[in-house]
């Protein structure tokens, strides 16, 4: 009897060691109180996806957090290297924090701002390389890296739309095809470098993560079995981009989610982003989004980079004509600034001329008329920009 108990115990330990696992690593900026609370919502949303994934795969899920004192690149690499992974295991890394300019100027992902290198940050490609090392050693099936760069806040009563349900009969097959059907490294980012990544402040919800949850829910409920053929990370990206576009439809801002996929059998990444206007003739969405993010962003490094990108759209002596709206009150005449002064002061509080109330933040900025230096050029620069600022507790 003692021999049988020993045998069963050894068998149980062996099976436990061989069981496939879903390793989840949260790399979350939580030192700033307001920003940290938003990331708690992000974690909860991501866990909705990952718990369903673990169930559908039949994997055990193990969750780790990298935060506070250990919020460094060295600790992150050590955490990845020390993960006890097997050939069929999956690692999901979720970063929620500030983005910095990528090391590679042509890169599609902002660097992660960590404690040990707050000016340069950590390249997402470097993080992917640590996972690839495990993969080459046949200790990893799939590495999924998700970057939520959430620093700007939208004031809106809207939400990302709920998912229309159809059939729940194929949920497990969807999960297995998505996570087991692809071997390699997948990187998803909430926005292109320097581009704003928005948060719905009224609901404490980063829009990319919320859209990702809605997209995953939609994928889980295909109309019939034939739709399973389309299940992929490309489909997940397309659905989440669609939800974001619907959210921004009536707002003077935008956001471009990014997807890069590298197969185990391939040495190059396949990059998918939304179409982005290349011409500077009418850069309303691009410039408008950057100006709105500059008005909301308090991070010194990010503000510097946003100003640097904005300068590329303007002539050196460009001016900005501003009309400010305070509910029913407005400044009678537009006020004109040189570009540098306007970019330096756009985030400062303003006083309602009717009530003398000091309002800490602009709500939205809308671009009106644009005058360029050479309208016949392929890349004309803006010499004068007219904008309308909305101040106060206004719902859109």
Give 325-370 pLDDT, tens digit per residue: 887 666 667 899 999 999 999 999 988 887 888 888 888 888 988 8
- CA 161: distance to chain centroid? 18
Q: pLDDT tens digits for 209-266?
A: 989 999 999 999 887 788 889 999 999 999 999 888 887 777 777 788 999 999 887 6
Mean pLDDT of 94-103: 87
From the list 325, 244, 318, 255, the residue with the least C-alpha distance to 285 is 255
Residue 198 has pLDDT above 80, yes or no: yes
Q: What is the pLDDT, as a whole number, of residue 273?
A: 64
If pLDDT is split at 50, 70 and 90, which confidence band does 279 have? very low
Instruction: Identify the residue with better confidence: 138 or 154.
Output: 138
Q: What is the pLDDT, as a whole number, of residue 12?
A: 41
Is residue 315 within 8 Å of residue 340, measured between CB atoms? no
Is residue 353 within 8 Å of residue 335, measured between CB atoms? no
- How many C-beta neighbours within 10 Å does residue 97 have? 26
Which sequence spans correspond to the domains of the chain?
Answer: 17-273, 284-391
Q: What is the pLDDT, as a whole number, of residue 101?
A: 82
From the list 328, 275, 103, 291, the residue with the least C-alpha distance to 196 is 291
If pLDDT is split at 50, 70 and 90, which confidence band does 289 have? confident
Cα–Cα distance for residue pair 197/153, rounded to 1 Å: 9
Cα–Cα distance for residue pair 204/34, rounded to 1 Å: 10
> CATH code for 284-391?
3.10.450
Q: What is the pLDDT, as a whole number, of residue 105?
A: 73
Cα–Cα distance for residue pair 135/184, rounded to 1 Å: 8
From the list 175, 167, 205, 221, the residue with the least C-alpha distance to 52 is 175
Q: What is the pLDDT, as a whole number, of residue 321?
A: 95
If pLDDT is split at 50, 70 and 90, which confidence band does 300 have? confident
Residue 147 has pLDDT above 90, yes or no: yes
Is residue 150 within 8 Å of residue 96, measured between CB atoms? yes
Instruction: Identify the residue with better confidence: 395 or 328.
Output: 328
φ, ψ for residue 357, nearest 5 deg: -75, 135
Mean pLDDT of 133-152: 90
What is the β-pairing status of strands 205-206 and 198-200?
antiparallel
For residue 205, list its beta bridge partners.
Answer: 200
Is residue 319 within 8 Å of residue 336, measured between CB atoms? yes
If pLDDT is split at 50, 70 and 90, which confidence band does 36 have? low
Position of tokens 């507790």? 393
Is residue 105 within 8 Å of residue 56, measured between CB atoms? no
- How many C-beta neighbours within 10 Å does residue 240 have? 27
Of 3.40.50.1460, 3.40.50.720, 3.40.630.30, 3.40.50.300, which CATH number belongs to 17-273? Answer: 3.40.50.1460
Q: What is the pLDDT, as a whole number, of residue 246?
A: 80
φ, ψ for residue 125, nearest 5 deg: -60, -35
Cα–Cα distance for residue pair 56/179, rounded to 1 Å: 10
Cα–Cα distance for residue pair 277/36, rounded to 1 Å: 33
- How many C-beta neighbours within 10 Å does residue 361 have? 15
Q: What is the pLDDT, as a whole number, of residue 89?
A: 97
Is residue 89 within 8 Å of residue 138, measured between CB atoms? no
């Amino acid at each position: 009897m003692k021999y049988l108990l020993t045998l069963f115990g050894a068998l149980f330990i062996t099976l436990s060691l061989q069981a496939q696992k879903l390793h989840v690593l949260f790399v979350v900026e939580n030192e700033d109180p307001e920003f940290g609370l938003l990331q708690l919502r992000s974690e909860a949303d991501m866990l909705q996806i990952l718990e369903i994934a673990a169930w559908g795969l039949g994997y055990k899920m193990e969750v780790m957090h990298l935060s506070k004192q250990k919020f460094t690149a060295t600790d992150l690499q050590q955490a990845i290297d020390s993960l006890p992974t097997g050939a069929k295991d999956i690692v999901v890394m979720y970063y929620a924090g500030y983005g910095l300019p990528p090391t590679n100027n042509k890169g599609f992902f902002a660097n992660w701002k960590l404690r040990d290198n707050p000016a340069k940050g950590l390249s997402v490609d470097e993080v992917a390389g640590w996972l690839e090392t495990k993969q080459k050693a046949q200790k990893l099936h799939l590495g999924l890296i998700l970057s939520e760069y959430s620093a700007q806040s939208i004031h809106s009563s809207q939400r990302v739309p709920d998912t229309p349900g159809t059939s729940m009969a194929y949920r497990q097959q969807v999960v297995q095809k998505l996570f087991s059907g692809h071997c390699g490294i997948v990187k998803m980012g909430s926005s292109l470098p320097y581009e704003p990544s928005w948060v719905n402040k009224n609901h404490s919800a980063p829009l990319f993560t919320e859209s990702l949850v809605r997209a995953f829910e939609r994928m889980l409920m295909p109309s019939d079995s034939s739709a399973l053929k389309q299940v992929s990370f490309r489909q997940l990206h397309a659905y989440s981009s669609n939800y974001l576009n619907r959210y921004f439809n009536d707002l003077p801002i935008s956001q471009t989610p990014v997807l890069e996929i590298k197969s185990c059998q391939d040495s190059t990444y396949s990059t998918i982003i939304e179409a982005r206007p290349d011409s500077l003739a009418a850069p309303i969405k691009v410039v408008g989004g950057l100006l709105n993010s500059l008005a909301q962003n308090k991070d010194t490094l990010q503000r510097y980079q946003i100003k640097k990108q904005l300068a590329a759209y303007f002539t050196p002596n460009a001016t900005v004509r501003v009309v400010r709206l305070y509910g029913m009150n407005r400044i009678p005449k537009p006020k004109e600034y040189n570009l540098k002064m306007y970019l330096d002061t756009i985030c400062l509080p303003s006083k309602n001329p009717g009530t003398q109330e000091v309002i800490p933040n602009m709500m939205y900025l809308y671009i009106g008329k644009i005058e360029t230096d050479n309208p016949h050029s392929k890349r004309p620069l803006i010499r004068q920009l007219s904008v309308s600022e909305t101040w106060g507790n206004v719902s859109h």
